Every structure is written in structure tokens, then in C-alpha cells.
Amino acid sequence: MLKLLVVEDHALVREGLLQTLRDIEPNTVAIGAADADEALQVLEATSNLDMVLLDLMLPGLNGMAFLAVLRKRFPALPVVILSALDDAETVKRAIEHGASGFVPKASTSESMLDALRQVLAGGVYLPPRYRDGGEQPRRRSVAERYGLTASQSRVLELLTQGKTNRQIGELLGLTEGTVKIHMSAIFKALNVNNRSQALLAVSKPRRRI
């Protein structure tokens, strides 16, 4: 019996992942946790977990910091990062911190399950464009389209989740003043004047040329 733990604070996303993961093999048990504290409770109460799927943008202790905790307390347990932030810097940091894989949230369910099977078999999974042999064609991210830095893209990701400047600062370890500076740069890059316009700008589908 395969036992998997999903650490994801968005309830709808978490429930969708739990349902999808049950297709990885028969009799799979998928357990959900909304944050690092709840995940630790599950880890301490559940024996023989096979893998943790970890979102980076968690309330309280963020995913990257929690990854370090997991590597120290449960060194043999594979951890796969599942995140909307899949820039090269973030992927590199996750692998350096001990992740066994990194799956972008834009991946299809089939691709995610294939990636998890690879990790369960003892491998390390990276998004296709970061493997040896070069990049594969893909849709450009919001950060690439608007020329945002990695820090600005993280702030924008939390903005799209409805976080306040104070909450963003707490999650990323930044002062509110620094968050405001990033916000100003994001608004300028997106050619908007406020949060609502920024959300509308990044949600618009890009027309194919």
C-alpha cells in the first residue's frame, strides 16, 4: 500500500491532488495537510509514509524552510516540490535543499503521476527544460512575459492568492517596505495601477501568434 502526504494550503487544490494521487496505483492512501504544523502531526502519527508532496507557498513556515526540516527529521523520506513557481533559481534551491523532484503546477495530471513514479523508483525528477539536452518548447511564464525577477514573481504569486502586503512579507521574510517596492515594480511592469488591475492582467489568456 502506497502512502502519500500532500502539504498544500489551498483546500480545493489539495482535494484535487488527493483525488488524482489515488490513481497512481491501486490501494493508494493520500493524506492532506494545510501547513507545516499539520504535516508534522501527520508524519508523527503515520508510519511508513512513502512520499511528501510539498507546496512552497505555505502559511507560517514556508515550503523551502519546511523542506529543510523534513530533510533533517526524516532524511530517508522523498519530498517532491509541487509549485507554481518553477523558475531556474527556485528549482535549483529546492534540489539543493534535498528535494527528490520538482513538478510545476502547470503540469498535467498524467505528467505529475509519471514524475512521482520516477521518484518512488529512486530517481530524481526535474522539469523537462532543466534536464540535460536543453529546453523544450513551452509557454512563457508571467515572470518571463513581463520581465519580473524571481523575487517579484514570488510576490506576484502571493498577490494572486489574495495575501496582504504584511502577509506577503511574513511568508517571504521581507519587510512591508520591501514588499511595497516589489509591488511598485510589478505594477510598472504590468502597466497597471493597483492590485485588481494586476490580477486582471495576469489572468488574461495570451493570444497565440
For the chain, the structural domain boundaries read 3-130, 142-203
Nearest Cα to Cα of residue 98 among 127, 129, 82, 77? 77
pLDDT value at residue 183: 92
- pLDDT tens-digit readout, 58-108: 888 888 899 999 988 888 899 999 988 888 888 888 888 889 999 998 889
pTM higher than 0.85 for the full model?
A: no
Q: Is the dihedral of CA 82, 88, 90, 96 positive or negative?
A: positive
Instruction: Please state, in angstroms and rounded to a whole number, the distance separating the CA atoms of residues 4 and 53.
Output: 8
Instruction: Please give the CATH architecture assigned to the domain spanning 3-130.
Output: 3-Layer(aba) Sandwich (3.40)
- Flag residues of the chain having pLDDT under 70: 131-141, 144, 203-209
- Tell me the CA distances in angstroms from 163 to 1, 26, 39, 57, 73, one per residue in order: 38, 38, 22, 11, 30
pLDDT score at 208:
38
Q: How far is residue 156 from each of residues 15, 106, 201, measured CA to CA in Å?
A: 24, 16, 11
Topology (CATH) of 142-203 = Arc Repressor Mutant, subunit A (1.10.10)
pLDDT digits (tens, 9 = 90+) for 190-200: 888 888 888 88
Coil, strand or helix at 32? strand
HSE toward the beta carbon, residue 198, CA cutoff 13 A: 24
